[in-house]
Amino acid sequence: MARRPRSSGPDLFDVEEKIVDIDVQEEMQGAYLEYAYSVIYSRAIPDARDGLKPVQRRILFGMHELGLRPDKGHVKCSRVVGEVMGKYHPHGDGAIYDAMVRMAQPFTMRLPLVDGHGNFGSLDDGPAASRYTEARPAPAALLMTGSLDEETVDFVPNYDEQLMQPEVLPAAFPNLLVNGASGIAVGMATNMAPHNLGEVIGAARHLIAHPDATLDDLMRFVPGPDLPLGGRIVGLDGIRDAYESGRGSFRTRATARIENVTPRRKGIVVTELPYLVGAEKVIEKVKQLVQSKKLQGISDINDLTDRSKGLHLVIEVKNGFNPDAVLEQLYKLTPMEESFGINNVALVEGQPRTLGLRELLQVYVDFRTDVVRRRTAYRLRRRQERLHLVEGLLIAILDIDEVIQLIRSSDDAAAARERLMQVFDLSELQANYILELQLRRLTKFSRIELESERDELQREIERLTALLEDHELLLALVSDELAEVAKEHGTPRRTVLLESAGVTASAAASTPMEVPDDPCWVLLSSTGLLARTSTDEPLGTGGARRKHDAIVSRVRTTARGDVGLVTSTGRLVRLSALELPTLPPTNGAPTLSGGAPLAAFVDLPAGEQPLALCTLTGDGPGLALGTRNGVVKRVNPDYPGNKDSFEVISLKDGDSVVGAVELTTGEEDLVFITSEASLLHFSASGVRPQGRSGGGMAGIKLPAGVSVVGFWAVDPEAENVVVTVAGSAGVRPGTEAGSVKVTPYAEYPAKGRATGGVRCHRFLRGEDALMVGWAGSTPPMAASANGVAVELPPATGKRDGSGTPAKAPIARVAAG
């Protein structure tokens, strides 16, 4: 096979080498400085004038160039990202989309610049991909790009010098202070907190009106940051340092309150978290601390956040722990309290500077004043140009016939233009405009319109000229425009500013984590509400009585102790005082309006009624029980400690307990009151104590069809009264007023046990039974079925007399 002849060209290896020695240290320094310069000026640090980083500015300008508006439909985010990446920002699409997402997040920006549609993420999760989400400019974005086409700012070439992009946006509001900024550059970083739009604009307007305003003057308008999701800022000294020097720090604290998450358990409800802290971050940290036993007193944590009520984080506190102390531990150990470091670094005339509040406002005011001046000059020039054309057109319309004849007799357009300029003394622009004139404009009405437009243009030119010639007028216009922005886009402050949390922290430090086992009273109201007092002070009887204040049973115990509840079926149910809501201290009678319903602590079957409270200590003479069929029993207080519910009497079929009283001396009088209005009382010492399985003994002798309506124990040495309420046997107690009578207890003679007793109430017409019977110390208190107090008549001396009409239906009577 023939071989291809070798090329006769130059030898590729026959070249002259030229090696340049470069100092690596100098090369690295130069390259690193270029990199640092690029990061500082092209990525991380915002401009102090419009408060935007280059990528944010290019996103807004790209959406402006695409013709997107808040009143038009959303477009795919990937379309905006592609537009910005291809024309203005030659970096990765991920960086552009991340910046776009941040501008749409209401929990990041105090005044979002992008209106997002779709999943733009949360504090705990990232956004969906750009191909799934849609966006359009928010109303605030129009304030940033408004008057962009009126030569208000300089334009610079894009990265390949084929297009032009704004060096800075006109920014009709101080975006840097309102939305804040964060970024990490090379050798420096910026971290600026968001503020309230109305407050910042108020400070800017004050600075315009008073150029020598001090920092204290401006802080009357801007007392501190206003975070997007609210929360609380604790300690204002660091804020003042930041406003003065550009560097400082403050603590942000979650907004939380302590409330009853269940009737028997308190909890901490968190409705606002610190800036950029998500609920999942708090939940994860709390669980970690609980598992490591560094945080005690928490039984459960639930995130009940939804769209209707917003953030709702419920932290349940274990019984026996002080919720205030637990909350302080949460502030100390979890992200529910975070520190925010302010570092106000921004670009001013191309140089990174650390700025205080006054400097930031001054830079913006100067920039905005220049924008308005350039816009005014542009508008003045355009109106002067228009006036020039209108005046030329008016000249032509006055001699329209001659103008038409001149044009028709000309050889071409150039000749016609020259003759118009010579004959009517017109400029070249006016002549060209006349030649392009449509014949429909040559009407009488068009002349009137032109004259009106000329007058309006002259007035507008005078106004714009005055603005350019008078700096004070220009500043007043800037101030008025800022006020209009605040009126249209301003929102109320969301973040609460607290001078210091030192008092709260000190108080919490002295508060024990666990609830102390202090003595207290456990109370049961006539409507079935349970509560405990904060102290064991004697219960008062004074003051106005409110709904649910009729206390039918009370027992002294400790905050961490147990009490018993006796029911109508002869059961005793154990209750923990620690689980009951605590009543605030009061000088008069305690009110149970803040109590919890009995059903939250005890599941009673239908038909089983709560009767009274008792102690479970095993001391004293024990309980005295009276049944519907007239049986009486004294119970030995040998209650089992390992059972939550047990029987204290064996009842026969059809019988039920109607009264249960804890004896104090064993020498009390036991009182039976029957439905036929008989009363029997005898000494408790004549009743032999029995065990829990005993069935009791005969207490009162009952005729056929008669039942016991009340069983009580009274101190025979005290001043006692008997209250009886008569009515019809066919109605339920508390549904019919009937008649009521109050009689001194001393009027009733004692009888032996198992006898019939004496009459205690004479029935009126329409009455055939006693509905309520009560005996005890004065003064008694009557209550309706819903717990409202009912006034009782004064005591009468007739034991067998009739009653007086009750002012309202009476369901229960209790010791006042």
- Quick one: 671 and 552 in the same domain? yes
pLDDT digits (tens, 9 = 90+) for 740-771: 999 999 999 999 999 999 999 999 888 889 99
Domain assignment present for residue 9? The answer is no
Which pLDDT belongs to residue 8? 53
Domain assignment present for residue 144? The answer is yes
Which of 170, 190, 214 is the endpoint of a domain? Answer: 170
Phi, psi dihedral angles at 809 (to 5 degrees): -55, 135
- E strand or H helix at 556, and its extent? strand 551-558
Structural domain total, the chain = 4
Which pLDDT belongs to residue 436? 82
| Cα–Cα distance list, 174 to 52, 109, 211, 712 (Å) | 11, 13, 17, 77
127: CATH: 3.90.199.10
- Quick one: 460 and 569 in the same domain? no
- Quick one: 480 and 535 in the same domain? no
Q: Any alpha helices (H) in 300-427, and if so which ranges?
A: 323-333, 357-398, 400-408, 413-423
Could you tell me the residue range of the domain that residue 117 belongs to?
A: 52-170
Which pLDDT belongs to residue 542? 57
Q: How many CB atoms lie within 10 A of CB 57?
A: 24
- CA-CA distance, 810 to 734, in Å (whole number)? 5
Please state, rounded to an integer, the average pLDDT across all residues of the chain. Answer: 88
Asked if 760 contacts 677 with a C-beta cutoff of 8 angstroms, the reply is yes
- Quick one: 530 and 588 in the same domain? yes
Asked if 687 contacts 624 with a C-beta cutoff of 8 angstroms, the reply is yes
- Quick one: 584 and 633 in the same domain? yes
| Cα–Cα distance list, 190 to 47, 195, 351, 418, 560 (Å) | 11, 16, 14, 63, 53
Query: Is a pLDDT exceeding 50 seen at residue 133?
Result: yes
Mean pLDDT of 136-160: 94
Say if pTM beats, i.e. exceeds, 0.75: no
Which pLDDT belongs to residue 734? 75
State in Å, rounded, how far the first CA of the chain is from the last one.
Answer: 129
Which pLDDT belongs to residue 361? 97
Which pLDDT belongs to residue 548? 63
Domain assignment present for residue 175? The answer is no
Which pLDDT belongs to residue 175? 96
Which pLDDT belongs to residue 509? 47
pLDDT digits (tens, 9 = 90+) for 445-487: 577 888 898 999 999 999 999 999 999 999 999 999 999 999 9
Which pLDDT belongs to residue 92? 87
Six-digit token string for 46: 């915002």
Mean pLDDT of 166-187: 92
- Quick one: 481 and 578 in the same domain? no
Query: Is a pLDDT exceeding 60 seen at residue 502?
Result: no
Name the DSSP class of 523.
Answer: E
Burial zone of 691 (CB within 10 Å; 0-12 exposed, 13-18 middle, 19+ buried): exposed
Active site residue 97: no
Query: Is a pLDDT exceeding 70 seen at residue 203?
Result: yes
- Quick one: 543 and 646 in the same domain? yes
Which pLDDT belongs to residue 617? 82
pLDDT digits (tens, 9 = 90+) for 594-612: 788 888 788 888 889 999 9
Strands 720-727 vs 769-777: parallel, antiparallel or unpaired: antiparallel
Query: Is a pLDDT exceeding 90 seen at residue 362?
Result: yes
pLDDT band, very low/low/confident/very high, at 622 (cuts 50, 70, 90) = confident
Name the DSSP class of 105.
Answer: -
Q: How many CB atoms lie within 10 A of CB 585?
A: 10
Chain centroid to Cα 575, Å, comes to 35
566: CATH: 2.120.10.90
Which of 489, 506, 541 is the endpoint of a domain? Answer: 489
pLDDT digits (tens, 9 = 90+) for 515-554: 788 888 899 988 888 888 888 776 766 555 666 678 888 8
For 688, left (φ over 0), alpha (ψ -120 to 50), or beta? beta
Which pLDDT belongs to residue 1? 45
- Quick one: 541 and 618 in the same domain? yes
Which pLDDT belongs to residue 35? 67
Domain assignment present for residue 236? The answer is no
- CA-CA distance, 679 to 722, in Å (whole number)? 9
- CA-CA distance, 533 to 511, in Å (whole number)? 18
pLDDT band, very low/low/confident/very high, at 503 (cuts 50, 70, 90) = very low
Which pLDDT belongs to residue 546? 66
The catalytic position among 32, 35, 37, 132 is: 132
Cβ neighbors of 161 (< 8 A, separation 6 or more) are: none
- E strand or H helix at 710, and its extent? strand 708-714
Domain assignment present for residue 597? The answer is yes
- Quick one: 421 and 320 in the same domain? no
Closest by Cα among 242, 245, 270, 198 to 339: 242
- CA-CA distance, 799 to 816, in Å (whole number)? 22
Query: Is a pLDDT exceeding 90 seen at residue 488?
Result: yes
Which pLDDT belongs to residue 337? 93
Which pLDDT belongs to residue 507? 41
- Quick one: 484 and 561 in the same domain? no
pLDDT digits (tens, 9 = 90+) for 686-745: 999 999 889 999 999 999 989 999 999 999 988 899 999 998 887 877 788 889 999 999
| Cα–Cα distance list, 159 to 43, 84, 91, 443 (Å) | 14, 12, 11, 52
Q: Which amino acid is at 220?
A: R
Q: Any alpha helices (H) in 670-761, and if so which ranges?
A: none
pLDDT digits (tens, 9 = 90+) for 584-594: 777 666 777 77
Domain assignment present for residue 710? The answer is yes
- CA-CA distance, 634 to 683, in Å (whole number)? 12
- E strand or H helix at 166, and its extent? strand 164-166
Which of 489, 507, 537 is the endpoint of a domain? Answer: 489
Q: Which amino acid is at 804?
A: T
Domain assignment present for residue 352? The answer is no
Identify the sign of the CA torsion 157, 159, 160, 162: negative
- CA-CA distance, 462 to 456, in Å (whole number)? 10
Q: What percent of the chain has pLDDT over 70?
A: 92
- Quick one: 532 and 638 in the same domain? yes
Which pLDDT belongs to residue 544? 58
Query: Is a pLDDT exceeding 60 seen at residue 501?
Result: no
Higher pLDDT, 63 or 391: 63
Name the DSSP class of 42.
Answer: I
Domain assignment present for residue 78? The answer is yes
Q: What percent of the chain has pLDDT over 90?
A: 56
Query: Is a pLDDT exceeding 60 seen at residue 2?
Result: no
- Quick one: 64 and 152 in the same domain? yes
Angle between helix 357-398 and 471-489 (nearest 10): 110
468: CATH: 1.10.268.10
265: CATH: 3.30.1360.40
